[in-house]
Chains A and B, each alone.
Chain A
Amino acid sequence: AQSVTQLGSHVSVSEGALVLLRCNYSSSVPPYLFWYVQYPNQGLQLLLKYTSAATLVKGINGFEAEFKKSETSFHLTKPSAHMSDAAEYFCAVSFGGYQKVTFGTGTKLQVIP
């Protein structure tokens, strides 16, 4: 069975500091991996996805994530946090096709001025 674990339900960073949101997955075969962002009272928006091409994936708003098979990780990073990055972030895993997407429990990012 597939699953994702997001370490830390809340993360606080200062404006301009590095953002690191952690995601580890459990899967017996190479999965597809996603990061979504949710702003208050809105739906989820795709930030980036890994589909077995490049292991370093660049997304929107300056975010990127690196797929590390040996660590079963797909952590999300951004070099310099902006106030507008304050939101909830979800990691998700899928085997594609008709297989369902399994979401992590989410990490709320707070950016301190």
Chain B
Amino acid sequence: GAGVSQSPRYKVAKRGQDVALRCDPISGHVSLFWYQQALGQGPEFLTYFQNEAQLDKSGLPSDRFFAERPEGSVSTLKIQRTQQEDSAVYLCASSLAAGNEQFFGPGTRLTVL
């Protein structure tokens, strides 16, 4: 399929561990977004890339969160020293350009024990 893929789909981490979440956007999509969705809530914006440039990281909740997209394609969201409040579904979306419709992946469900 040509959709957005994310891996792993599920991740369980012990408090204090580092995790890395991967996003493979649709080929050719310039824009890539990360969102965090807590249980029962709507997704909340974390960060935005245009190609390899991270143009907006205003939604990252702390300096423990770091995202990269070094070659303008695959992106990784890294969370250092995970805390229980980091438990959520992390969604990745891509679009042809910033103003176009966004296509979402299935998300990674992170549970921090």
Do they bind each other?
Answer: no
